[in-house]
Amino acid sequence: MRPSTERPGGGRQVTIVEVGPRDGLQNEKRLVSTGQKLKLIAMLADCGFARIEATAFVSPKWVPQMADHDAVMRGAARRPGLVLSALVPNEQGARAAIAAGAQELAVFTSASETFSRRNTNCTIEEGLARFVPVIALAAEHGLPVRGYVSCAVDCPYEGPMQPGAAAKVVARLRDLGCAEIAVADTIGKATPDRVHAMVLAVLEEAEAERLAGHFHDTGGLALANVDAAWDLGLRVFDSSVGGLGGCPYAPGAAGNLRSGALVGHFASKGIETGIDQALLASLEDTLEATVFSEQ
């Protein structure tokens, strides 16, 4: 699952993880049907995305949009080369996700103690303890686990974060056995220089091949922040079709980086994404009609 930095002959490539069906839709006020979600996942796979975060096995009480997680994961079409992942908060969620056919699990914590308490009702340490049985269970089933570090640059409650805060949590996730760790600019206030400083600190704890970048475009600097991370060796980045969504527990966070913008950005630099740019543009142009309107 880990992408190469260079192709034979010198051509560069990047892996784009599509998080729209989960991170994008979870913040939608209108309820999206299971059928619509399955249609969206299939269309994204048609565009060439090899990694799609399909749903979250979280409590419907807190994220009503993800209440149909079991049906979505079981119903999502499987195809060669496609990995469907699910966000899970604990062992119970992990067991349900694996039973439904998840091919990768994702866990989430924060570099901010305040955000962790408000988002998951536990401290960072308590949250990390919950991941131990999740990662052990995933290992039993031969599944990789991705760890998210939210508020890696800024927190809506604590303000700017010191680079070492993210690095400390990355080190813990590394030691727990996460195959990949995504550092997230959860509220979209990061700047390239601060991303550079954060990633440099994180690289002291984990090699670039083990890291991913998750940048929101709230402040219009997501692509510049991607470049800052790319320059330091990161080769996996998240995006959301049509720019859908953002964290529902982070004020001002709306504005995930649009997949079409990220694909186009890399294409302009001659960096291979494996995504059909024209097909993705068509999907984004007609997202409302094709996905959010019942046929």
Sequential DSSP letters for 223-248: HHHHHHHHHTT--EEEEBGGG----T
For the chain, which residues make up each domain, given as ranges? 15-291
Catalytic site residue from 47, 151, 178, 247: 247
The predicted pLDDT at position 292 comes to: 77
Strands 180-185, 159-160: parallel, antiparallel or unpaired by DSSP? unpaired
The predicted pLDDT at position 186 comes to: 92
The predicted pLDDT at position 11 comes to: 43
Report d(CA 127, CA 141) in Å as an integer: 22
Residue whose C-alpha is closest to residue 87's, from 53, 110, 136, 38: 53
The predicted pLDDT at position 7 comes to: 34
| DSSP bridge pairs for 72 | none
Tell me: the pLDDT tens digits for 228-264? 999 999 999 999 999 998 554 444 445 799 999 999 9
Query: Buried b / exposed e across 37-72, counting CB within 10 Å, b at 16+?
Result: bbbbbebbbebbbbbbbbbbbbeeeebebbbbbbeb
Where does 122-252 show beta strands of DSSP type E?
Answer: 145-150, 154-155, 159-160, 180-185, 211-215, 236-239
Residues of the chain with pLDDT below 70 are 1-11, 246-254, 294-295
The predicted pLDDT at position 2 comes to: 39
DSSP-derived letter for residue 33 is: P
- At a CB cut-off of 8 Å and minimum separation 6, what does 11 contact? 270, 272
The predicted pLDDT at position 246 comes to: 56
The predicted pLDDT at position 247 comes to: 52
| Alpha carbon 241 to chain centroid, angstroms | 12
- At a CB cut-off of 8 Å and minimum separation 6, what does 200 contact? 163, 232
The predicted pLDDT at position 250 comes to: 47
Using the structure block, give the residue that is written with the tokens 């998750």.
214
Q: Is 247 one of the annotated active-site residues of the chain?
A: yes
Q: Which H or E element spans position 47? A: helix 34-47
Residue whose C-alpha is closest to residue 157's, from 198, 187, 126, 115: 115
User: Positive or negative CA dihedral for 63, 219, 228, 194?
Assistant: negative
The predicted pLDDT at position 8 comes to: 34
Q: Does domain 15-291 correspond to CATH entry 3.40.50.1370? A: no
Using the structure block, give the residue that is written with the tokens 């640059």.
153
